[in-house]
Amino acid sequence: MKCLSNIKRRACPRRQIYRIAEDSEIPLVGCIAFGLIDRGTNVIQVRPISTCVLSCIFCSTDAGPNSRWRQTEYVVDLDYIIEEFEKIVKYKGCKRIEAHIDTVGDPTTYPQLVELIQKISEINGVEVVSMQTHGVLLNEKLIDELADAGLSRINLSIDAMDSELAKTLAGTESYSLAHIIEVAKYIAESSPIDLLIAPVWVPKINDHEIPKIIQFAKNIGAGKKWPPLGIQKYEAHKFGRKPRNVKPMSWKKFYSELRKMERKFKVKLVLRREDFDIVKLPMLPSPFKLYEKVKARIVAPGWLRGEKIAVARGRVLTIVDADDIPLDTTVYARIIRVKHNIYIARIE
């Protein structure tokens, strides 16, 4: 499939975009890069697209124009993702569902984002629709449209209050902190959408910015229904970006520092499931067992270099070390991951 013109220019200059529709016979459960993720709670993660306009230097998924590992980006047809999402909602009992749009890129690159939120919000049992974004493509008009469509909360990533450092962290010279600040203020002050500011704390790089971000969130009145801040701990991932000389904090130190800032700023920073009304609900049953050998059909290029996408037993498998395996072939692969309905396998 050819790239959509507005995405090709800004988000995938050297990679193909692969369209996933119902007639592609590619299931939407099983792959971390697209579709739907069920981790056994009332929150269903919705990933309609994988592209991003930024190249954040700490990005755990190596997103954006500067990606070294990605070979394919995905976009899922609107009607298909809605149809499959509704099936999971029914399986969970049509109650207390939160749809969280949190792609491995930025959901604002999805051309039908407003329609996606509108259709999700109309499904029986969906009580919250939330979205994670860096906000680069947001503006007042789009925010108003998202609010009218039924978006409940925006988790907005602001990683520094210094404009030059913010550009460095975003890995993008055109990143405008001034624009993001105006977006945040508009959401907090003029929109029915709740605002949660979600910086990534990258040790040695933005340590001194975290207190400034906390104060900014308080000043603009973020978090009217949910907590105003969701500070994220930087983690080094195998295929993610790793800033030079940066070592992730231990969880113990991270939470200790958050508690200190809670006392100083008198704001909630150590978050728990109950803060977002997250409860356990039945998880989709796994058709695979760990280390089981399965027969699968290769149907699409993989997300990262060396990978292929395969289908088996109504689920998607990511096949690693599969460079030489052609599309539309049948293989036998050993399952090496089954956690949270995300499946990875290796050909034997």
Query: In angstroms, what CA-CA distances link 82 with 37, 117, 120, 243, 283?
Result: 13, 10, 7, 37, 18
286 in a structural domain: no
User: What pTM did the predictor assign?
Assistant: 0.93
284 in a structural domain: no
Q: Looking at 213, 241, 276, which one is the last position of a domain?
A: 276
- Domain containing 187 equals 5-276
Query: In angstroms, what CA-CA distances link 55 with 39, 70, 95, 226, 291?
Result: 27, 12, 37, 29, 35
Q: Is the pLDDT of residue 92 over 50?
A: yes
Average the pLDDT over each of 10-24, 234-248, 283-297 and give the range with the smallest value.
10-24
Query: In angstroms, what CA-CA distances link 342 with 51, 236, 315, 327?
Result: 20, 20, 9, 21
297 and 325 fall within a common domain: yes
pLDDT for 14 equals 62
pLDDT tens-digit map of 175-184: 999 999 999 9
54 in a structural domain: yes
In 3D space, the residue among 56, 42, 96, 105 whose CA is nearest the CA of residue 76 turns out to be 105
Strand partners, 133: 156
198 and 256 fall within a common domain: yes
pLDDT for 265 equals 97
pLDDT tens-digit map of 205-226: 999 999 999 999 999 999 999 9
Nearest-angstrom CA–CA distance, 91 and 283: 8
Three-state DSSP at 268 gives coil
Structure-token pair, residue 241: 């970006």
pLDDT tens-digit map of 23-61: 988 999 999 999 999 999 999 999 999 999 999 999 999
pLDDT for 15 equals 78
306 and 163 fall within a common domain: no
CATH number at residue 334: 2.40.50.140
Structure-token pair, residue 164: 């030059």
